[in-house]
A = this chain, B = another copy of it.
């Protein structure tokens, strides 16, 4: 199915998304060019338009894929909120390209239904983690506040890590460093 020989590519859509991930990981979303992706896939410069319409269309597909992956990653981490938080950071580092697009709504169509649905799945994973929080660590009667604080701290850590803004002393293991940060938020009081 990956013949890539004849007139038809075989799985151009997937090839373009994969190439986009590679380019974004190397040089950021700003360096993305549909013509370059087409070149990498060995097709003409106008071929991508058929699958994604335009550049925001391609990034919309990437963002939806990202939110789906994120929801899956957090669910797989087990019900525990700390572990879901670590998984969030781990996802950002391992799927840097997806993550960098997902929270940049000026790059894609955030109101696309497939994005909304995937985003909702990720939100549910977060809420279920908060619900599983032992009472002595949760804020009585304000699970939404807990969720917002937890989301903020892991999202901030992940963003700063990816931006290379953190000092070297933090180390080179994002999971370990994230765990220490998250622990501070939900220490028993």
Shortest CB-to-CB span from A45 to chain B, Å, is 20
CA distance A151 to B167 in the complex (A): 12
Q: Classify chain A's interface size.
A: 35 or more
| Residues of A bordering B, CB below 8 Å | 27-31, 103-107, 110, 139, 144-146, 148-149, 151-160, 163-166, 169-170, 177, 180-181, 184-185, 187-189
Contacts beyond the supplied A30-B30, A149-B184: 19 A-B pairs with Cβ under 8 Å: A28-B106, A103-B163, A105-B164, A144-B169, A148-B166, A148-B170, A148-B177, A149-B181, A151-B156, A151-B160, A152-B160, A153-B156, A153-B185, A154-B156, A155-B159, A155-B160, A156-B157, A156-B159, A184-B185
Please provide the 8 A-B residue pairs with the shortest distance between their CB atoms, ordered closest to farther. Answer: A156-B156, A28-B106, A155-B156, A152-B156, A152-B157, A189-B189, A153-B153, A149-B184
